[in-house]
A and B are shown apart, each in its own frame.
Chain A
Amino acid sequence: MTKQTMDDALMAEVAGASAKKTVQMPVGVPGYTLADETREIPASEPPVWPINKDLKYVGQSIQRYDGMAKAAGRARYTSDVQLPGMLYAKFVNANVPHAKVTSIDTTDAEKYPGVRGVHVIQHVLGNAVLRDPALEPVKYPVVRYAGQPVAAVAAITPAAAEEAAALVKVKYETIPFVVDPIKAREPDAPAVFPGPADEEASAGGGGGPSDVKQTGNIHGPSIHKRGETEQGFKDADVIVEGHYVTQVQTHSALETHGVVADWKPEMLTVYASTQGTAGVREELAGFYKIPLTQVRVITEYMGGGFGAKFGAGNPGVVAAALSKKSGAPVRLMLDREEEHLSVGNRPSSDQLLRIGAKNDGTITAMHLVAYGTAGCGTGAGCSGPAANLYKSASLHAEESDVFINAGPGAAMRAPGHPQGAFALEQTMDDLAVKLNMEPLDLRDKTDEHPVRRVERQIVRESELWKSRNPVAGADRGPVKRGVGFAQSVWYRFVSMGSSAEVRIHKDGSLEVMSGVQDIGSGIKTVMAQILSEQFGVPPSQITVKVGDTNYAEGPQSGGSVTTLSLTPAVRDAAWQASQKFLADIAPALGTTANDLVLVDGEVRSRSGKTQPVSFKRAAAKMTSTQISVQAKRVPDYDPKKYLTYGGVDVAEVEVDTELGRIHVRRVLSVHDCGRPMNPEQTISQINGGIIQGISFTLLENRLLDPVYGLMVNPDLEQYKIIGSREIPDIDVRLVEAYIGQSSTDASGIGEAAGVVSIGAAIGNAVYNATGVRIRRTPMTPDVVLAALHATAQGKELA
Chain B
Amino acid sequence: MSDSRESTPSPAEIDPKTMATAGSGRSGISRRGFLKGAGLTAAGTALLEGVQGFSAEVAAHAPHGVTELGPGPVPVKLHVNGVEHAMEIEPRTTLAEALRMQLGMTGTKIVCDRGVCSGCAVWLDKMPVNSCMTLAVDAVGRHVTTIEGISSGDTMHPLQAAFVKDDAMQCGFCTPGMVMSCAALLERNPHPSEHDVRHAVSGNLCRCGTYPKIFAATLDAAGTLRNA
Interface residues of A (CB under 8 A from B): 61, 63-64, 66-77, 79-80, 82, 90-96, 99, 102, 108, 150, 158-159, 161-163, 165-176, 252-255, 301-304, 306, 335-338, 519-522, 680-681, 683-685, 687-692, 715-717, 721-725, 727, 729-730
Known: A252-B207, A254-B111, A688-B209. 17 other contacts (CB 8 A): A64-B167, A92-B24, A94-B7, A96-B7, A159-B92, A162-B22, A163-B20, A171-B7, A172-B6, A303-B109, A304-B171, A304-B207, A520-B170, A715-B112, A721-B205, A724-B199, A724-B201
| Bound-state Cα–Cα, A70 to B207, Å | 15
**184-222 of chain B: CB within 8 A of chain A:** 197-199, 201-215
Contact present for A73 and B147 (CB under 8 Å): yes
Interface residues of B (CB under 8 A from A): 1-8, 10-11, 14, 16, 20-27, 30, 32, 36, 90, 92, 97, 100-101, 104-114, 116-117, 119, 146-148, 151, 156, 160-161, 163-165, 167, 169-176, 179, 197-199, 201-215
Give min CB distance, B153 to chain A, whole Å.
11
Give min CB distance, A648 to chain B, whole Å.
19
Give min CB distance, A540 to chain B, whole Å.
12
Contact present for B199 and A725 (CB under 8 Å): yes
Contact present for B107 and A73 (CB under 8 Å): yes
On whether A70 and B205 interact (CB within 8 A), knowing A91-B24, A254-B117, the answer reads no
| Bound-state Cα–Cα, A256 to B40, Å | 30
On whether A687 and B172 interact (CB within 8 A), knowing A93-B25, A173-B4, the answer reads no
Give min CB distance, A757 to chain B, whole Å.
15
Max chain B Cβ within 10 angstroms of own Cβ: one of A82, A90, A166, A680: A166
| Bound-state Cα–Cα, A172 to B117, Å | 35
Contact check: which of B25, B116, B197, B198 meets A94 at CB < 8 Å? Answer: B25
On whether A72 and B170 interact (CB within 8 A), knowing A162-B32, A168-B8, A716-B117, the answer reads no
On whether A687 and B210 interact (CB within 8 A), knowing A302-B171, A336-B113, A721-B205, the answer reads yes
Report chain A residues within 8 Å CB of B176.
73
Q: Which partner residue on chain B sits nearest A333 by CB separation?
A: B110
Report chain B residues within 8 Å CB of A92.
7, 23-25
| Bound-state Cα–Cα, A73 to B80, Å | 15
Contact present for B210 and A688 (CB under 8 Å): yes
Report chain B residues within 8 Å CB of A67.
163-164, 167, 169
Report chain A residues within 8 Å CB of B174.
254
Give min CB distance, B167 to chain A, whole Å.
5
Report chain A residues within 8 Å CB of B27.
95
Report chain B residues within 8 Å CB of A304.
170-171, 173, 207-208
Give min CB distance, B69 to chain A, whole Å.
16
Contact present for B24 and A70 (CB under 8 Å): no
Q: Which 4 residue pairs spanning A and B have beta carbons closest together? A: A73-B107, A691-B209, A520-B171, A303-B173
Please list 8 pairs of residues, one from A and one from B, whose beta carbons are closer than 8 Å in the complex, sorted by A's number: A68-B164, A71-B179, A73-B176, A92-B23, A166-B8, A253-B173, A254-B206, A303-B171
Contact present for B111 and A174 (CB under 8 Å): no
Contact present for A71 and B25 (CB under 8 Å): no
Contact check: which of A80, A95, A253 meets B106 at CB < 8 Å? Answer: A80
Contact present for B175 and A70 (CB under 8 Å): yes
Report chain B residues within 8 Å CB of A77.
106, 109, 173
Contact check: which of B100, B117, B156, B215 meets A71 at CB < 8 Å? Answer: B156
Contact check: which of B1, B148, B198, B204 meets A72 at CB < 8 Å? Answer: B148
On whether A172 and B164 interact (CB within 8 A), knowing A67-B169, A687-B212, the answer reads no
Contact present for A166 and B21 (CB under 8 Å): yes
Contact present for B25 and A170 (CB under 8 Å): yes
Contact present for B198 and A727 (CB under 8 Å): yes
Report chain B residues within 8 Å CB of A79.
106, 109-110
Q: Which partner residue on chain B sits nearest A694 by CB separation?
A: B209
Contact present for B8 and A167 (CB under 8 Å): yes
Contact present for A169 and B207 (CB under 8 Å): no
Give min CB distance, B31 to chain A, whole Å.
10
Report chain A residues within 8 Å CB of B101.
82
Report chain A residues within 8 Å CB of B11.
108, 167
Report chain A residues within 8 Å CB of B202.
723-725
Report chain A residues within 8 Å CB of B206.
254
Contact present for A171 and B171 (CB under 8 Å): no
Contact check: which of B2, B32, B106, B207 meets A254 at CB < 8 Å? Answer: B207
| Bound-state Cα–Cα, A476 to B11, Å | 65
Contact present for A165 and B112 (CB under 8 Å): no
Give min CB distance, B148 to chain A, whole Å.
5
| Bound-state Cα–Cα, A302 to B172, Å | 8
Report chain A residues within 8 Å CB of B207.
252-254, 304, 306, 692, 721
| Bound-state Cα–Cα, A253 to B112, Å | 10
Contact present for B7 and A172 (CB under 8 Å): yes
| Bound-state Cα–Cα, A722 to B198, Å | 12
Report chain B residues within 8 Å CB of A252.
207
| Bound-state Cα–Cα, A692 to B106, Å | 27
Contact check: which of A171, A520, A690 meets B4 at CB < 8 Å? Answer: A171
| Bound-state Cα–Cα, A715 to B30, Å | 13
Contact present for B109 and A254 (CB under 8 Å): yes
Report chain A residues within 8 Å CB of B167.
61, 63-64, 67, 680-681, 683-684
Give min CB distance, A107 to chain B, whole Å.
10
Contact present for A170 and B1 (CB under 8 Å): no
Give min CB distance, B215 to chain A, whole Å.
8
Contact present for A684 and B210 (CB under 8 Å): yes
On whether A165 and B205 interact (CB within 8 A), knowing A102-B4, A174-B3, A680-B167, the answer reads no
Contact check: which of A94, A167, A172, A730 meets B212 at CB < 8 Å? Answer: A730
| Bound-state Cα–Cα, A504 to B213, Å | 36
Contact present for B175 and A71 (CB under 8 Å): yes
Give min CB distance, B34 to chain A, whole Å.
13
Give min CB distance, A114 to chain B, whole Å.
12
Q: Which partner residue on chain B sits nearest A63 by CB separation?
A: B164
Q: Which partner residue on chain A sits nearest B165 by CB separation?
A: A63
Q: Which partner residue on chain A sits nearest B97 by CB separation?
A: A158
Report chain B residues within 8 Å CB of A689.
209
| Bound-state Cα–Cα, A69 to B107, Å | 10
| Bound-state Cα–Cα, A162 to B29, Å | 13
On whether A724 and B198 interact (CB within 8 A), knowing A254-B111, A255-B173, the answer reads yes
Q: Which partner residue on chain A sits nearest B201 by CB separation?
A: A724
Contact present for A165 and B175 (CB under 8 Å): no
Contact check: which of B113, B119, B172 meets A70 at CB < 8 Å? Answer: B172
Report chain B residues within 8 Å CB of A66.
172
| Bound-state Cα–Cα, A302 to B100, Å | 17
| Bound-state Cα–Cα, A520 to B169, Å | 8
Report chain A residues within 8 Å CB of B147.
72-73
| Bound-state Cα–Cα, A159 to B201, Å | 31
On whether A174 and B5 interact (CB within 8 A), knowing A73-B147, A727-B211, the answer reads yes
Q: Which partner residue on chain A sits nearest B211 by CB separation?
A: A727
Report chain A residues within 8 Å CB of B201.
724
Q: Which partner residue on chain A sits nearest B198 by CB separation?
A: A724
Give min CB distance, B80 to chain A, whole Å.
13
| Bound-state Cα–Cα, A252 to B112, Å | 10
Contact present for B23 and A166 (CB under 8 Å): yes
Contact present for B25 and A95 (CB under 8 Å): yes
Report chain B residues within 8 Å CB of A691.
209, 211
| Bound-state Cα–Cα, A69 to B116, Å | 25
| Bound-state Cα–Cα, A692 to B169, Å | 15
| Bound-state Cα–Cα, A75 to B179, Å | 14
